[in-house]
């Protein structure tokens, strides 16, 4: 399975300069926040595959203008080709704006999902806007990661945690990746493509 992941910045190759042949065999798109809703709707339309997203701290137009055809999975688990995909949007609280949470609030959201996680027999991919604390994050109030996500990794051991929020240019895919207790934590700033086995138990 080939998954396109996007966040934080509009990439011309996926919008004004879009060429579907440059992105062959994409099965799914996962969006990790801080992107115009029109951009996600465009990608959904021209990729013609499901697009699941979480909102970032700058996504203030989504309530009035949600991206057409796309699904917000904040606080939800969806199944796609045998994979359980969960979403947790927003950043750490820093000025009281939309889509901001204290670490205690994020822990509460995760606790409310405990039964759903158990019922679905775990989570394979967690998409977030912010990173886990001390993994790819920064020390200013806005860009600190969530301790709750580190705890989530320890407890539920998803195969992937894919996030945005931290703006950084990458020379290659491996620069985006940190492995934490077996979970591949990936910063998808801009865009990234991951290929995974269709059978998560294999």
pLDDT in tens, 42-51: 999 999 999 9
Q: Determine the pLDDT at residue 202.
A: 42
On whether the CB atoms of residues 188 and 170 are closer than 8 A, the answer is no
Percent of the chain with pLDDT over 70: 98
CA distance 4 to 51: 9
On whether the CB atoms of residues 117 and 124 are closer than 8 A, the answer is no
Do β-strands 160-163 and 183-187 pair in parallel, antiparallel, or remain unpaired? parallel
The pTM assigned to this predicted structure is: 0.96
For CA atoms 108, 149, 50, 12, the dihedral sign is positive
When the candidates are 3.40.50.620, 3.20.20.140, 3.60.21.10, 3.40.50.1980, the CATH number that belongs to 2-195 is: 3.60.21.10
pLDDT category of residue 84 using cuts at 50, 70 and 90 = very high
Per-residue tokens: 119: 């019922």
Q: Which conformational region is residue 154 in: left (phi greater than 0), alpha (psi within -120 to 50 degrees), or beta?
A: alpha
pLDDT category of residue 197 using cuts at 50, 70 and 90 = confident
């Amino acid at each position: 399975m080939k998954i396109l992941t996007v966040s934080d910045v509009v990439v011309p190759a996926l919008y004004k300069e879009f060429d579907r042949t440059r992105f062959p065999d994409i099965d799914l798109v996962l969006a990790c926040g801080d992107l115009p809703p029109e951009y996600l709707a465009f990608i959904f339309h021209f990729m013609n595959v499901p697009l699941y997203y979480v909102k970032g701290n700058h996504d203030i137009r989504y309530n009035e203008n949600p991206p057409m055809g796309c699904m917000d999975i904040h606080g939800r688990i969806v199944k796609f080709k045998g994979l359980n995909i969960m979403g947790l949007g927003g950043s750490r609280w820093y000025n009281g704006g939309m889509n901001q949470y204290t670490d205690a609030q994020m822990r509460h959201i995760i606790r409310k999902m405990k039964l759903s996680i158990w019922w679905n027999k775990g989570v394979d991919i967690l998409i977030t806007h912010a990173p886990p604390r001390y993994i790819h994050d920064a020390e200013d109030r806005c860009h600190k990661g969530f301790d709750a996500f580190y705890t989530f990794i320890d407890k539920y051991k998803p195969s992937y945690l894919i996030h945005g929020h931290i703006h950084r240019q990458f020379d290659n895919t491996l620069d985006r990746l940190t492995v934490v207790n077996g979970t591949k934590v990936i910063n998808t700033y801009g865009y990234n493509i991951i290929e995974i086995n269709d059978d998560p138990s294999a």
